[in-house]
Amino acid sequence: MTGILLLLATSVLLAWPLGLYLARVMRGAPMRIDPLFHWIEKPLYRLLGVDPAHGMSWRGYVGAFVLSNVVIALLTMAVFMTQAWLPLNPDGIANLRWDTALHTMVSFLTNTNQQHYSGQAQLSYLSQMTGITGLQVVTPMMGLALAVATLRALFAPPRQDVVAEGDRRIDVGNYHADVLRLCVRFMLPLCLLWTVLLASQGVPSTFAAGPQATPMDATAGMQEQKIPLGPVAAMVAAKQLGANGGGWYGPNSAFPLENPTALSNALELVGILLIPIAIIFMIGAFTGRRRFGWLVLGCMASMSVVSIAATVWLEGHSPTAASALLMEGKEVRLGSDATALWAAVTTQVSNGSVNGMLDSMSPMASAVALVNMLVSAIWGGIGCGLQQFIVYLLLGVFLAGLMTGRTPELLGRKLETPQVRLLALLVLLQPITLLTLTAITLAVPGLSGTSNPGFHGISQVFYEYASAYANNGSGFEGLGDNTPWWNLTCSLVLLLGRFPLLVVPLVIAAQLAAKRRAPESPGTLQIETPTFALTLLSVIVILTVLQFLPVLVLGPVADHLSLGLH
């Protein structure tokens, strides 16, 4: 328990100054380190043909976001489909099958890193470096840029530039400048630091082909075994810091080469939490409303503590945890508490990496992981977590307004029919997508590919879709997911879980910013209070429980009860 508290405290202490630095980067304020980065940024601006000082409306910002995703998608797909003929392929790995290539491209494009392949066996070094690690750096910063643009619109000053009669143009920033500054000044330096630290612990960092080894046990039937290596440390740094989670090796951070020591385990755990918490510290300094930043931090931290405590107890100290049936797939080097802490944190942050197989966890501990992903705002993904929290915030404002008999308003701007319709779209999209595809997959024989026909099989299928929608990427291994059905349906879920969540809150914020701000009065709803925080947490719990209680009962709860009978 002391180790858990120390890791969490370290993450918060490191995230605080990092968040303040991030706020200065996104404000574009002059900094002493500007000359260090200008020589990188200015040529890139000229190459892209953009003026970083030129602001964009929300339509221009979203258009640039979508266009950049399309370009990256096409380039990444081309690399995966032709890797056998490209350089940096010392192991002679073949091209990916089209549906696997499509799912992998969409998965990493959406900052999810859901893997239906085994990286060391099916991807060349070039594919790992460009299509995987490259996207692990860029795509989280794209999400963070959308979240920052939403904050700019939401907390915009009352004056706007009138473009046409009846229209107010809200400057939400420059997409290209935001993403470039985030990558060059924030993400890449952190990745470089973490790469060096992980390499010092023995995580491979080489372009050489893997060596051949002779197995000690001749009865295994192998004369020799190839040990896969590669520039692993850089990818592990990006996967943890960017809330990505995709591993170089199939077993992810449960594999000794990807996570060799107790210190590397601590570094990777801190890496998962560092940027999501830093973003929360950024809010107050960036918006000038520090109480709002503390509201977000308090709500997310409260949910995080409850989730971690429940997972650690259920996995390591509850009566069910002692069952021998749950030992397969556990990483005994690290112990149950370290595995449970990682499982809780990785699903709170939409990271998805693992240091022990989630499929082998106690059913109720896996239920906590499922709830973490369904909420998707306990820290959440980089950018996506804040956007999801803003959705819950707007819903809380709407319901509080109804309960008090007032027109719902946020920061003096009224929530009206167009905004509520967009919120309803986001609220309904998640259960419709997840429950429909889960039902079809379980109902049609041969589609699911589950390794367990009982209640655990329901959990396997639902977890896969919930993980895809939450842009998490973790999964219950044992599921035969590298099939056209799984690859195509998960690609659809990945897209639905990513783009509406990033874009719709920005649209709502821009619509609110274009309205006249009403002066505050004694009846104005104060959102930066403990009372509203409790209301907000209640909205989150009620939405999650009411929408998904039946499938949670049929899956992990029933699995837990059946395990108790055995």
Which residues lie closer than 8 Å to 449 by C-beta, 6 or more apart? Answer: 479, 480, 481, 483, 486
3-state secondary structure at position 62: helix
When pLDDT is cut at 50, 70 and 90, the band that residue 90 belongs to is confident
Return the percent helix, strand and coil in the chain, to nearest 5. 65, 5, 30
3-state secondary structure at position 414: strand
Distance from C-alpha of 449 to C-alpha of 446, rounded to nearest angstrom: 6
For the CA atoms of 425, 166, 401, 380, what is the dihedral angle to 10 degrees? 40
Most confidently modeled range among 413-417, 459-463, 561-565: 459-463
Q: What Å distances lie between residue 225 and 228, 258, 418, CA to CA? A: 9, 18, 61
**Which has the closest alpha carbon to 544: 378, 384, 419?**
378
Q: What is the arithmetic mean of pLDDT over 188-212?
A: 89
pLDDT in tens, 461-512: 999 999 999 999 898 877 888 899 999 999 999 999 999 999 999 999 999 9
> What is the pTM assigned to this prediction?
0.92
Look-up of token digits 């850089």 = 234
When pLDDT is cut at 50, 70 and 90, the band that residue 212 belongs to is confident
When pLDDT is cut at 50, 70 and 90, the band that residue 160 belongs to is very low
Distance from C-alpha of 89 to C-alpha of 96, rounded to nearest angstrom: 13
On the question of pLDDT at 159 being above 60, the answer is no
Give me the pLDDT at residue 167, please: 42
Give me the pLDDT at residue 504, please: 96
On the question of pLDDT at 316 being above 80, the answer is no
Most confidently modeled range among 159-168, 220-229, 443-452, 494-503: 494-503
* β-sheet bridge partners, residue 413: 410
Domain range annotation of the chain:
381-562
Give me the pLDDT at residue 162, please: 40
On the question of pLDDT at 404 being above 80, the answer is no
Residue-averaged pLDDT of the chain: 88
3-state secondary structure at position 243: coil
**Residues above pLDDT 90, as percent of the chain:** 58
**Which has the closest alpha carbon to 369: 296, 423, 316, 307?**
307
On the question of pLDDT at 414 being above 50, the answer is yes
Give me the pLDDT at residue 413, please: 85
Residue of 453 and 301 predicted with greater confidence:
301
